[in-house]
Homo-oligomer: A and B are copies of this chain.
């Protein structure tokens, strides 16, 4: 397996080799921006074979969509792009001193430029011991596991004659009142209040308890307080127990303990409270990281002292040219991916003219363009803010729908997703209420 990098280098020796880690929004956008360049070779490495439309992951977790509907095979996105080679592999080491990464089975892949867009993982603020008792929501497997566990808990409640145990089975606790937590809470409220209604004979799913816990005083901190208030009111009216100003003290199997000593028993505990850099980013030698382990970048998005290495998307800890902290959102990731491509293309042009290729000072600087933010709460309810304006309710929900459909990669997904949403809207049905992956449990 040692031959990969060698072979590639022999192929076209003088052409710069760009290695891109991660086929998320940043990585995909970077590669697309380089599609016409025949003066580079790109190797895109991801441990999954698919690009994931993460903003809709909560829909898979709450049985609204099937897993393949929000994912696109990376190879089919780039099958026309001649300068690009996709590898499905785990990256085991990033060595910025020797300009190489290693993939599984100790295969080195040398690079001239490295673009790190590996994203972040669920973070527990130093309480990794809580992880086994909760589920995060970062991958398709996370989402289908949540779907399976929540649906299974209701099946077990139906056969359970112990009142305490039944209540526990019918409780879902979501920790974290950001967009993911809000969207999950809303989706589970609709699932139990409407979709599952009438499906059981011994239990009443509308009595299920959906608890949303947030340590701060407001949900959706990044929004205007009036939108946060609207969100809390709307969720409450949908039957969600919204618990702001409530910090989690401990998590054990089936139990969340909050400040003040209250213990909430729940068969399903979902952790949407924090993110941190994956181990591979923490293991890079000699680079600067923030508290969550994210890679600190210059305003051109390169790592300090390593003009040939870029961090883009959620893994980058970035303050832009205007002094704005760049948020961990997909539009920001796409803008960063595109910017890194621009910087490298400029480098190559300068080099072609005989100038110093990677001079940090002459490079274009990144400026985040805030297109606004939105979060959906439920059927015809969302919040959105854009260009100084605030929106709630149906109008915000339609904006959310439009933007998400527009960005979904691939024609087929758009139509199938639109169809399902329309059907779900009209009939309060969920097409993906399937428990599978039971093999894993047995």
A201 at the A/B interface (Cβ < 8 Å)? yes
- In the bound complex, do residue A201 and residue B85 qualify as a contact, i.e. CB atoms below 8 Å apart? yes
Cα A275 to Cα B355 in complex, Å, equals 71
Cα A413 to Cα B79 in complex, Å, equals 30
Given known pairs A49-B151, A199-B76, the reply for A436 and B67 (CB within 8 Å) is yes
A338 at the A/B interface (Cβ < 8 Å)? no
Interface residues of A in 409-442 (CB under 8 A from B): 411-413, 415-416, 419-420, 423, 429, 431-440
A144 at the A/B interface (Cβ < 8 Å)? yes
A75 at the A/B interface (Cβ < 8 Å)? yes
A348 at the A/B interface (Cβ < 8 Å)? no
* Cβ 8 A contact of A436, one of B1, B4, B140, B160: B140
A17 at the A/B interface (Cβ < 8 Å)? no
- In the bound complex, do residue A415 and residue B419 qualify as a contact, i.e. CB atoms below 8 Å apart? yes
A225 at the A/B interface (Cβ < 8 Å)? no
A245 at the A/B interface (Cβ < 8 Å)? no
Interface size on A, residues (CB 8 A): 59
A200 at the A/B interface (Cβ < 8 Å)? yes
- In the bound complex, do residue B141 and residue A437 qualify as a contact, i.e. CB atoms below 8 Å apart? yes
Chain B residues whose C-beta falls within 8 Å of the C-beta of A3 in the assembled complex: 161
Chain B residues whose C-beta falls within 8 Å of the C-beta of A102 in the assembled complex: none
Residue from A7, A50, A68, A145 whose CB has the most chain B CB atoms within 10 Å: A68
* A429 nearest CB across to chain B (Å): 7
A96 at the A/B interface (Cβ < 8 Å)? no
Chain copies in the assembled complex: 2
- In the bound complex, do residue B199 and residue A50 qualify as a contact, i.e. CB atoms below 8 Å apart? no
A305 at the A/B interface (Cβ < 8 Å)? no
Cα A155 to Cα B49 in complex, Å, equals 8
Cα A433 to Cα B88 in complex, Å, equals 14
- In the bound complex, do residue A76 and residue B141 qualify as a contact, i.e. CB atoms below 8 Å apart? no
- In the bound complex, do residue B437 and residue A437 qualify as a contact, i.e. CB atoms below 8 Å apart? yes
A287 at the A/B interface (Cβ < 8 Å)? no
- In the bound complex, do residue B75 and residue A200 qualify as a contact, i.e. CB atoms below 8 Å apart? yes
* A38 nearest CB across to chain B (Å): 15
Chain B residues whose C-beta falls within 8 Å of the C-beta of A48 in the assembled complex: 435, 438
A189 at the A/B interface (Cβ < 8 Å)? no
- In the bound complex, do residue B411 and residue A423 qualify as a contact, i.e. CB atoms below 8 Å apart? yes
- In the bound complex, do residue A144 and residue B431 qualify as a contact, i.e. CB atoms below 8 Å apart? no
A71 at the A/B interface (Cβ < 8 Å)? yes
Chain B residues whose C-beta falls within 8 Å of the C-beta of A438 in the assembled complex: 48, 141
Chain B residues whose C-beta falls within 8 Å of the C-beta of A68 in the assembled complex: 66, 431-434
Interface residues of A in 59-110 (CB under 8 A from B): 66-69, 71, 73, 75-76, 79-80, 85-89, 107
* Cβ 8 A contact of A440, one of B79, B412, B439: B439
Cα A3 to Cα B68 in complex, Å, equals 41
Chain B residues whose C-beta falls within 8 Å of the C-beta of A439 in the assembled complex: 141, 145, 440
- In the bound complex, do residue B88 and residue A50 qualify as a contact, i.e. CB atoms below 8 Å apart? no
28 A-B interface contacts by CB (under 8 A) = A7-B161, A48-B435, A48-B438, A49-B435, A50-B435, A66-B66, A66-B69, A67-B434, A67-B436, A68-B434, A69-B431, A73-B434, A76-B199, A79-B198, A79-B199, A87-B159, A88-B152, A140-B434, A141-B436, A141-B438, A141-B439, A145-B439, A411-B423, A412-B431, A415-B419, A416-B420, A419-B419, A440-B440
- Given contacts A1-B160, A88-B155, A140-B434, list 8 more A-B pairs with CB under 8 A: A1-B159, A66-B66, A85-B201, A86-B158, A86-B201, A87-B159, A89-B159, A412-B419
